[in-house]
Amino acid sequence: MTIPEIEAEIVSEFSLFDDWMDKYNYLIDLGKSLPVIDPKYKTDQYLISGCQSQVWLFAEYREGKAFYSADSDAIITKGIVNLLIRVLSDQSPGDIINADLSFIDHIGLREHLSPTRSNGLNSMIKQMKLYAVVFQTKYQ
């Protein structure tokens, strides 16, 4: 699936919920379903700075695409990073770099996050795109 197709799918899923408490609960469920990151990547080297909670992000390049794995010590943050991984993993570096990630605003996520969580969201996006830039520079 393309990034816009995945984003549209997420917007559709979130539209099923009428209030933000239900959407938060859905984020919590997404956090619980985040695939486990290899423990060797839960080090300071993979820790994203700028997040209120601890978030570890690892990326690898295979067959022309970037693949991400992550973990966090906060369940809502795990849900947020799971959404980002769902959208950006298994995509080409160029598509990741150019992704506008408009689904974040369409589902109302940014406006319902505290300023520190919003900064963390921006830091996660920045790090994922930085990995894509490195992959594009190194392999293409």
Instruction: Average pLDDT across each block of 10 residues of the chain; the chain has 140 residues. List them in order.
Output: 97 94 94 93 92 90 96 93 97 97 93 85 96 91
pLDDT at 50: 76
Specify the DSSP class assigned to residue 103.
H
CATH no., domain 3-139: 3.90.1010.10
> Residue 137: what are its φ and ψ, rounded to 5°?
-70, -40
Whole-structure pTM value? 0.94
Which residue, 57, 61, 99, 106, is CA-closest to 82? 57
DSSP string for residues in 73-90: SSHHHHHHHHHHHHHHTT
pLDDT at 55: 94
Specify the DSSP class assigned to residue 101.
-
State the sign of the Cα–Cα–Cα–Cα dihedral 92, 96, 100, 103.
Answer: positive
- 51 catalytic? Reply is yes
pLDDT at 139: 81
Element (H, E) at 24: helix 20-32
Tell me how far apart the alpha carbons of residues 81 and 94 are, in angstroms, rounded to a whole number: 20
Which residue, 101, 126, 124, is CA-closest to 8? 101
Tell me how far apart the alpha carbons of residues 17 and 31 are, in angstroms, rounded to a whole number: 17
From the list 30, 51, 80, 132, the catalytic residue is 51
The identity of residue 86, as a single letter, is: R
